[in-house]
Amino acid sequence: MNSHFAGRRFLTGLLAALAATAFALTSVNAEESSTKQEYYELRAYRCPTAEKQQIVVDYVESALLPALNRQKIDRVGIFTPTGGETPDHSVHVLIPYRSLDVLGGMNAALAADSGYQADAADYFAIPKADAAYTRVESRLMKAFAGIPVIEQPSYSKQKKPRLFELRTYESHNAHKAQLKVEMFNKGEIEVMRDVQLGPIFFGETLISSDVPNLTYMLSAENAEAHQTRRKWNFKWRTCGNCGN
C-alpha cells in the first residue's frame, strides 16, 4: 500500500454522550446517523502544563459539551494523553457532525447561546499572558463507509475513563491513501470488531497539516486488555482466520 504508520498515542478519557446532560438523541438524528457517514473534528488543545490542561478539560466538560448537546451534537469525546517518555498536557476533543452544515453553523450557535457564554465566562476572561493553551490544532475527517458512525462497546457506555488508542497512517499520495481506506472497509474493521479491539471511529482525513492520511481510534477497559486483543488481531490476520 506504500502507506506508513505515522503516529500512535494512548489516551484516557471517555465519550461524553448525551447522558452527560439532560438531552436525549432525537429519532430524526438517529435515523440520519444510521444512514449517513458522519464528519469528525478532532481538536488538540496544546497546553503547557498539567494545571492548564485541567482548565481546558473543565471548560470543555462544563461549558462546551452542554452547549454542543443543545445543538444536538452528541457523543463528544474528551481525552488526555497517558504514558509516553515526555509529558504531554494536550486535551483531545472528538466532535461528530451529522453534516458539514452543522459544523458550519456551530460557532454562530455558540455565540448566540447565552448559557454557553455564561458557563465559559471565566475561561474567556483568562488573560493572554496566562492563556490556557498555546494553539488548537484541528483535523476534519469523514467517517469510513465500513463504520459510518461512532461505535461504543458496551463497557465504554458505563461512563468510566477508559484507555483509547489513536492511530494515524500517512500515505505518500492520495491513491495509496484510498487503497488503505478500502483495506479497512473490506474486512479489517470487521476483524477488529471480532477480536473486540473496540473500534470507535475510522476517519479519512479531509483537512489537516499532514494529509493524505487516515486516523482511527480503538478502545479497551485497560492497557492489559488492549494488548491481549492486539495479539488476537495479529494472529487472526497472520493465519487468515485459520479456516474459520
Question: 4 pLDDT exceeds 70?
Answer: no
Q: The domain at 3-243 falls in which architecture? A: 2-Layer Sandwich (3.30)
Tell me if residue 233 falls in helix, strand or coil.
helix
Predicted TM-score of the model (pTM):
0.83
Which residue(s) pair with 51 in the sheet? Answer: none
Query: Looking up cell 465519550, which residue turns up?
Result: 15
Q: Which amino acid is at 214?
A: L
Least confident of 43-52, 81-90, 109-118, 228-237: 228-237
- What b/e string do you get for 69-92 counting C-beta neighbours within 10 Å, with b at 16 or more? bbbebbbbbbbbbeeeeeebbbbb
Residue 60 near residue 91 (C-beta atoms within 8 A): yes
**pLDDT tens readout for residues 192-227:** 888 888 899 999 999 999 999 999 999 887 777 667
- The torsion angles phi and psi of 86, rounded to 5 degrees, stand at -120, 145
Cα–Cα distance measured from residue 97 to residue 39, given in angstroms and rounded to the nearest whole number: 5
233 — pLDDT class (breaks 50, 70, 90): low
Q: What is the pLDDT of residue 158?
A: 67
| Candidate ranges 1-10, 32-41, 95-104, 219-228; pick with highest mean pLDDT | 95-104
Question: 2 pLDDT exceeds 50?
Answer: no
The ranges assigned to domains in the chain are 3-243
Residue 41 near residue 95 (C-beta atoms within 8 A): yes
Question: 161 pLDDT exceeds 90?
Answer: no
Q: What is the pLDDT of residue 238?
A: 43
Neighbours of 59 (CB within 10 A): 21
